[in-house]
Amino acid sequence: MADPTKLTAGAVFARDFKIVKPLREGGMGAVYVAEQISTGRQRALKLMAPELVGNPEIRERFIREAKVAANIESDHVVETVTAGVDEETGAPYLVMELLRGEELADAAQRSGPLMVADVREIFSQIGHALEQAHAQGLVHRDLKPENIFLAASKRRDVPFTAKILDFGIAKLVADGMQKTGTQPLGSPLFMSPEQTDRKGRICPATDVWALGLIAFYLLTGTWFWRAATDDSLPALLREVCVDPIPRASERARELGVEGALPIGFDSWFARCVDRDIDNRFPDAGACVRAFAELVADAPADRKLSMVATSGMNTGSLGRDVDVNAATAIVEETGAIAPSPKAQTLDAPPTHGTTSGAGVEMVASQTAPSRSRGSVVAGGVVAAGLLAMGVYWFGFRGTDPSAAATSSAPTSTASVAPSAATAAGSASAVAAVDSRCPAGMMYHPAGTTFMGSRTLNPASGANVEGRQVKLSSFCLDKTEVTVRAYEACVAKGKCERTPDDVDYGGPEDEKKPFIAFCNARKAGREDHPINCLSFRRAERFCSDRGARLPTEAEWEYAARGSGQNDFPWGNQPPDPTRLNAAGTEYAGWAMENLKKDQPMMYAADDHYVGTAPVGSFPAGASSWGVLDLAGNVWEWTSDFYAPYEPGELVDPKGPADGTERVIRGGAFNGSDPQWANPAWRYRSAPERYTHAIGFRCAADVAGEPRAK
């Protein structure tokens, strides 16, 4: 059989593709620029090496992965034109669009920190592709600036068309790795904790982690991880898996790029890089929509200009990329890509492709030079066939110093993992901050104004308020779920919640409201537990070694140290930020209560009753806490009483009383004031209603108390 990886210019392959020139070649196959004779258009032609053609498993995966990518209906994935098996050579092949433009990594390096409008445009485009992929259960696993290509745009009003590269290979190679016991794919600087664990759960939220880090990099021009420019893989791994993850603004300040991030970025970023995968945005669509909302009012100024659109042979795009300068085929590598600041745009390309024995993995190392106008054959590649920008990152990996100090791609020798590395893999902890129990968010000590001078004086909030000093504390990121509470009941530590409601309203409304109680209702395991008394909530927290938050802690968590009108900022409530009374609840009330129901907003938030916790990430607080407005009111530890005047330190409310303070509003709330962090309401502690739930708080051990 003729070797399809040794074709010369002018040769015709599969009757319809005339070879123009080779684009790249390696041990697993070759990529050519080819003219499609039937259309006259230039394509990227990818061929499998002949020695692999006889492997039926690789052949089947090659074709399957082509179909997977082709089924992602988005202009922002590299188009698969056709795929098949050549009759003459028996070689499987893929034909894909040939991209003209440059990688996002190069554009960012050339331009420096990007404008918010640039990042908004990029995320809007790639978010469409990722949302389509995630809907099909396909996870990229290796998102990074090198795998996002800015191609020439066909529209005058859009500066570029962003394309995601290498969609198929991450899933494909990972499938193979699971059979051999090796670790999943990922680039160290953008890899999520679950990717460092061979048993880690990979899902769409894995890509969300990378999106958060990409946004930070594009906006600041620097890597988020401090170990990014070091030669220590264990140090980087520890940051990713173990060390407390600082707020994005704190890290930007440490790196000398304070002010580069838009207001509210901290809460969005925290939602992306939560080590508890269930606390992240569930998929790229939710993540990108929340980002768009965050920066909706940002200036339209941009740094990224229109991508060149002139023909390939005019020379205006610069030299074509020699992909061996960008990609190395090695058996394994733990290499960390060098910092963009250390790269030289004008250096000549280097070459150095090696292949090891056994299963070959695809590993990318940053090229020392890339043309400003690259020509790249992007898209899906089969098992081990050359792919652009896919890292193999394993703990059996290697000393990354060679890659960190040299621009030339180099194979490295295997060494045993350090204890720190192994420990990091084993402890991909769920808590965002190691100072707090899993699932809780750290809140630093601070001073805040408690109360409001703007709310209606007849409301539950004190008009005058007071200054309070608070010690640091931890607070549950979400309301306590049915799943968590019923686990406590199963252990015999918590009391079963009642099957009815006691809320003091008209008797004829009790039966309709009972339907909103979530315990023991199929499909509501991730909804907040409700219909429980203060004592039951307090007992649950105590069993966790925690407590209910004080009223002051709750307001501080919702307001932050500023004077925001709502947990998310000063924008009025809407159905993207909280679960309150909209058209959906008004319709239910008319049907079941036979009365008109006022609405907080004249729109449908899609939940007549409670929503699964964390369903409204756009409403997160500045510390990343979710659902502080809406869903259910939340018990606090304080008895209700008018505020005491003067400045207080860690106030805990009066020593006794007949009612406890509840905060935050609920799914049936119609008054926007109820979503204000200062709004106070109260309930008899023995009452249990469909609209009240809770979350827990905890002290921070070892930190000084406020004075």
- Comparing 430 with 474, the larger pLDDT belongs to 474
Assigned CATH topology for domain 4-98 = Phosphorylase Kinase; domain 1 (3.30.200)
Residue of higher predicted confidence among 291 and 166: 291
pLDDT beyond 60 at 643? yes
The pLDDT value recorded for residue 461 is 54
414: helix, coil or strand? strand
The per-residue pLDDT for 65 is 59
Averaged pLDDT, 385-407 = 26
Whether 362 has a pLDDT exceeding 60, the answer reads: no
Q: Which residue has the higher pLDDT, 58 or 146?
A: 146
Of the candidate CATH numbers 3.90.1580.10, 3.40.50.1390, 3.40.220.10, 3.40.228.10, the domain formed by 440-699 belongs to 3.90.1580.10
pLDDT band for 172, please (50, 70, 90 cuts). very low
Contact 356, 328 (CB under 8 A): no
Mean pLDDT of the chain: 76
Q: What does the pLDDT look like over 536-580, one tens digit per residue?
A: 999 999 999 999 999 999 999 998 756 788 999 888 999 999 999
Contact 704, 473 (CB under 8 A): no
**Cα atoms in the 13 Å half-sphere on the side-chain side of 108:** 29
Q: What integer is the mean pLDDT of 633-647?
A: 90
The whole-number pLDDT of residue 539 equals: 97
**In the predicted model, is pLDDT for residue 683 greater than 60?**
yes
Q: Which of 76-80, 110-114, 275-279, 479-483 has the highest mean pLDDT?
A: 479-483
Look at residue 675 in the predicted model and tell me its pLDDT: 93
Rounded Cα gap, residues 139 and 128, in angstroms: 14
Q: Does the pLDDT at position 336 exceed 80? A: no
What distance in Å separates the CA atoms of residue 176 and residue 191, rounded to the nearest whole number?
Answer: 19
For 43-77, the pLDDT digits (tens) are 999 888 777 777 776 666 666 656 666 778 788 88
Question: What's the longest Cα–Cα distance across the chain?
Answer: 91
Domain boundaries, the chain: 4-98, 99-420, 440-699
pLDDT of 460: 52
Picking from 655, 682, 645, the residue whose alpha carbon sits closest to that of residue 460 is 682
In 491-531, alpha helices (H): 510-514
Q: Give the lowest-confidence range in 15-19, 446-450, 511-515.
A: 446-450
| pTM assigned to the model | 0.47
| Helix ranges, 42-166 (H) | 50-53, 56-70, 104-111, 116-135
pLDDT tens, 343-358? 222 222 222 222 222 2
Q: How many residues does the chain have?
A: 707
C-alpha 502/C-alpha 677 separation (Å) is: 26
The pLDDT score that the predictor gives to residue 343 is: 27
Q: Is the pLDDT score of 526 beyond 80?
A: yes
Q: Is the pLDDT of residue 379 over 70?
A: no
Is the pLDDT reported for residue 316 higher than 70?
A: no
Which of 78-87, 234-243, 586-595 shows the lowest mean pLDDT across its residues?
78-87
**CATH fold label, 99-420:** Transferase(Phosphotransferase); domain 1 (1.10.510)
Bigger pLDDT: 616 vs 398: 616
Out of 6-20, 65-79, 151-165, the most confident range is 6-20
pLDDT average, residue stretch 657-672: 95
pLDDT over 80 (residue 327): no
